[in-house]
Structure 1
Amino acid sequence: MRLTVIGTGYLGATHAACMAELGHEVLGVDVDPDKVAALQAGRVPFHEPVLPELLARHTASGRLRFTTSYEEAAAFGEVHFLCVGTPQRKDSEGADLRYVDSAFASMARYAAEGALLVGKSTVPVGTAQRLADTHTGVEIAWNPEFLREGFAVEDTLRPDRLVLGIGSERAETLLRAVYAPVIGAGTPVVTADFPTAELVKTAANAFLATKISFINAMAEVCEATGGDVSVLAEAIGHDDRIGKKFLRAGVGFGGGCLPKDIRAFAHRADELGVSLAFLREVDAINMRRRDRVVELARELCGGGVLGARIAVLGAAFKPDSDDIRDSPALNVAARLRLDGADVTVYDPEAMDNARKAFPLLGYALSAEDALRGADLVLHLTEWPQFRELAPERARTLVSRPRIVDGRGTLDGATWAAAGWEFRALGRPAPGGEG
């Protein structure tokens, strides 16, 4: 089939390349000519494993192209996927829909009568119906994405489900044709009305955020009682009604999805007269974990960090990504810098983005470089490289062997045995100290 993808950021570029991988002819559209030029040259402007190879292969073959012209896209495509961003509004917790509205209006202006416009962006419930009522000359469907950064290609080509928010049999037929190879491989398909399809994505993100904040709330209780949240999580995770995923206590979630999406969901629920106040507590628990890391840093530095040299391992909000949006690591680093600490950050992929957003922080060329002369080490993004650091070698680099594991992935006993003062959120210090 001939498909267009409107918006070529993280979601759009990934979707476009993966649709080409499935055998379709794809035209990506973006208003940014520099981004279009980079993608057309086979260059991905962000870090995502496997995607560069797909992009290079399909731009070289001609199966995947990019343009700035909506008119060209309308003439080219049978189905048009709209993948633009929905950031948080500056004046409220609600989602900013200006990019969604603009993209749909621009596409509807040129699209043929009855063309299928498929939204993939995360939007407040009611958006799809509003767009359908506004743009009566085209057909609207909603097909939410469920991408995990670092696994976006896998999640597009081999998703755990497809959700099709449709208003007609024709729309379902077209979307099933688009995803025929995926469906043929056994992926379940859930068909739904517009509001349900929109709610599936926001509900999924709200549930995941709640699970993370739940175990972090349990970490707070463990810290108050001397319990060990890692053992607690293992025990409750054996219950298959609960499961082990997303039960690692730490500095909390960030990124461009969960924080803004739970705020927008609660905001939209308020507009509908439904209280989702618990999501605001989920958000508050998440932010408190950052506060706790800052508190631990001050404690370990004798009550204050003024003049202390602090190494921060991690800048991206998660591993296998260079995304620093709402990064807990950089939030903590910036706060310590404001308190007078000399902060040096290292991340395997996110250094350029971090430097642009936080130019006053120091940056190292490697993890070992960051550790040199440090009075305190903070492990805040769970890259494998950091888990593989040898505590004995690391001790020879620092000024004082003190570390806070903000991700709950380091072996505290091993670090303590190598002479480190080791602290982790929700876990007793090795040796039984508080």
Structure 2
Amino acid sequence: MDERICVIGTGYLGATHAACMAELGFEVLGVDVDERKVAMLSEGIVPFAEPGLDDLVSRHVRHGGLRFTTSLAEAAEFATVHFVCVGTPQARDGHGADLGAVFSVVEGLAPLLSQDCLIVGKSTVPAGTAARLTERLAALTPSGVDAEVAWNPEFLREGHAIEDTVRPDRLVLGVASAEAEKILRQLYRQPIREGVPVVVTDVPTAELSKLAANAFLATKISFINAMAEMSDLVGADVVSLADVLGYDDRIGRRGLSAGIGFGGGCLPKDIRALTAQAEELGAGAGELLSAVDVANLRMRERVVELAVEACDSDPRGRQVAVLGAAFKPLSDDVRDSPALHVATTLRGLGARVRVFDPVANDSASRVAPALDYVDSARAAVTGADLVLHLTEWPEFRTLDPLTLGSAVNRRRIVDGRNGLDPDRWRLAGWSYRALGRP
């Protein structure tokens, strides 16, 4: 097969996939409508934070194996395999996915095709989307050109995206023909040789698999957070409870860390998209998934409640230090960030809020400009009446509570991530509170 591929959409997913496919030995052309983004990537500059990606992109751009363009016509001529990696955000008028960008790609590319090709969806979409895309493709592709749609969902974790692309824990190939399967197996021959499991399935199952995986993870997180609230009410310790559950290999310990809940650009909108489709189909899963979403959002309010309680029930005029703004560590992504939600809520209640995040200050300040941002944890906590630990950056776990204690006004901390050592902080004279811990 041709060793040239095209990646359409160069946001978080697309830029990562393009660079990693170049790392796997392919000549890659990335396509995007955003001229500024294309210009940055063409200079080897990644417009978001992801460990190792800057080096990977710049190296392959420099060596010529990775290029970027705004031209779909160039893409149509360049490659016979096109990965669709555009965003599918939550629709403005409901909980379903906005598929406009996905259809725009196919409708823009199809009339330009002059050679047989495989269009491979990686974007997260409701099951049935590929069938609709196939209809549009058939209607718009020039006579004599065969084009097929397959689906190869991504399972990237922000902060671990390179590893999850070149050495994923599984490859899902949703195909309608043996030829499509052959092409995808050839594309992923290196990870397959290295033992990565391959699941070959029909296209609707592949589409559903990403939403189902995120929904299950969200359910697991919301479950342990519900148990954290129960633990608070009965005087139990949710961390020990999670250890007990984790030893059951049917359950497992990963994902059972109680805290402020999930956010970001994937889990919230994906669980809502699956809920919306389930409700459209009349499936009972909609009720379950809706409850998971509600339970997750409740944890943000629980942290606010703990913070208000720590401010003697009156946060007005209190100085609050917030450690973390990104929705998770190793990322500058603040989309639907629980940390920012809590910070802005407390400011709305009259607190003076000062925020530090090792990477996400700039992106947070664009979303929540009314908050104060500083360049160190020490600066954030100086003079504080309360400290909130809201994003579990590794460097926050190593903070010295004795040193920080000399800078604050009152030694009170709410650990919204259950990521700090309670004994260590209490021995340093701090009042330590966390979700689900006595």
TM-score norm. by structure 2 comes to 0.97
Q: Percent identity?
A: 61
CA contact (8 A) 1:212 1:247 kept: yes
2:37 to 35, 43, 50: 35
Asked if the contact 2:106/2:136 (under 8 Å) is kept, the reply is: no
1:309 to 319, 328, 342: 319
Give the superposition deviation at 1:112.
2.8
Q: How far apart are the structure 2 equivalents of 1:255 and 1:380?
A: 14
CA contact (8 A) 1:254 1:325 kept: yes
Task: Kindly indicate whether the alpha-carbon contact (under 8 Å) linking 1:33 and 1:68 is maintained by their aligned counterparts in 2.
Answer: yes
- In the TM superposition, what is the alpha-carbon distance from 1:114 to its structure 2 partner? 3.2
Structure 1 segments (4+ residues) deviating >3 Å = none
Distance 2:113 2:233 in 1: 60
Match for residue 140 of structure 1 among 149, 158, 172: 149
Q: 1:208 aligns with which of 206, 217, 225?
A: 217
1:163-312 alignment to 2 at 5 Å? 163-276=172-285, 277-312=287-322
Q: Is this contact kept in 1: 2:321–2:387, CA < 8 A?
A: yes
Q: How does 1:391-410 map to 2 (within 5 A)?
A: 391-410=401-420
Asked if 2 retains the 8 angstrom alpha-carbon contact of 1:82 and 1:117, the reply is yes
Match in the other structure for 2:120: 118
Q: Which of 162, 176, 193 is matched with 2:171 structurally?
A: 162
Alpha-carbon displacement from aligned partner over 1:212-252 (angstroms, at most 9, x marks no partner): 00000000110111111011001111111111101110000
Give the alignment partner of residue 329 of structure 2, picking from 289, 311, 319.
319
- Please list, as runs of the form range in 1=range in 2, the aligned pairs for 1:326-341 lying within 5 A after superposition: 326-341=336-351
Whole-angstrom CA distance in 2 between matches of 1:251 and 1:101: 36
CA distance in 2 between counterparts of 1:117 and 1:130 reads 13
Q: 1:151 aligns with which of 160, 174, 190?
A: 160
Q: Which of 59, 77, 80 is the aligned partner of 1:78?
A: 80
Which stretch of structure 1 is more off in the superposition, 62-71 or 271-280? 271-280
What is the letter of the counterpart of residue 156 of structure 1? T
Structure 2 CA distance for aligned equivalents of residues 344 and 47 of structure 1: 22
Structure 1 residues 113 and 78 mapped into 2: Cα distance closer, same or farther (>3 Å)?
Answer: closer
CA distance in 2, matches of 1:76, 1:35: 20
Matched, 1:379 2:389: yes
Q: Deviations over 1:51-82 (max 9, x none)?
A: 11110110001110000000000000120000
TM-superposition CA deviations, 1:384-417 (whole Å, max 9, x none): 1111001101100100000000001111111111
Deviation at 1:204, TM superposition (A): 0.4
Offset, 1:50: 1.1
Counterpart of 1:124 in structure 2: which amino acid? P
Secondary structure at 1:135's aligned position in 2?
A: helix
Q: Contact 1:314–1:347 (CA<8 Å) still a contact in 2?
A: yes
Aligned to 2:58: 56
Provide the rounded CA distance (Å) in 1 between the counterparts of 2:281 and 2:200: 24
Q: Matched residues in 2 for 1:110 and 1:336: separation?
A: 53
Aligned to 1:23: 25
1:431 aligned residue = none
Q: Secondary structure at the match of 1:140?
A: strand
The reply to whether residue 44 of structure 1 matches residue 46 of structure 2 is yes
AA paired with 1:107?
A: L
* Residue in structure 1 matching 2:430, options 397, 420, 424: 420
Once the two structures are TM-superposed, the CA of residue 105 in structure 1 deviates from its matched residue by 1.1
Q: Is the 8 A contact 2:80 2:116 kept in 1?
A: no
Distance 2:100 2:58 in 1: 31
Question: Residue 113 of structure 1: CA displacement?
Answer: 4.7
TM-score, normalised with respect to structure 1 = 0.98
CA offsets, 1:125-183, max 9 Å, x none? 11011111221142101000000000000000000111011111111111111111111
C-alpha distance in structure 2 between counterparts of 1:257 and 1:367, whole Å: 28
Cα contact 1:266–1:275 (8 A) shared by 2: no
Corresponding residue SS for 1:183: helix
Instruction: Assess if the C-alpha contact under 8 Å between 1:254 and 1:326 holds in 2.
Output: yes
- Write the deviation string for residues 100-119 of structure 1: whole angstroms up to 9, x where unpaired: 11011112121235311111
What is the CA–CA distance in structure 2 between the aligned matches of 1:70 and 1:400, rounded to whole Å? 59
RMSD: 0.7
- SS of the counterpart of 1:107? helix
Instruction: Give the letter for the 1:239 counterpart.
Output: D
**Are the equivalent residues in 2 in contact too, given 1:81–1:118 (CA < 8 A)?**
yes
Q: In 2, distance between residues paired with 1:43 and 1:113?
A: 32
SS at match of 1:397: coil
AA partner of residue 48 (structure 1): E
CA contact (8 A) 2:118 2:180 kept: yes
Displacement of 1:331 in angstroms is 0.3
Aligned to 2:144: none
2:14 matched to which residue of 1?
12
Maintained 8 Å contact 1:311/1:377: yes
- Distance, in Å, in 2 between the alignment partners of 1:397 and 1:13 is 42
Letter in 1 for 2:251: I
Q: For this pair of structures, how many residues does the alignment match?
A: 428
Within the candidate set 337, 346, 362, 2:356 is matched to 346
Unmatched segments (≥5 aa) in structure 1: 429-434
Distance 1:358 1:104, change over 3 A: same
Find the residue that maps to 1:204 and give its secondary structure.
Answer: helix
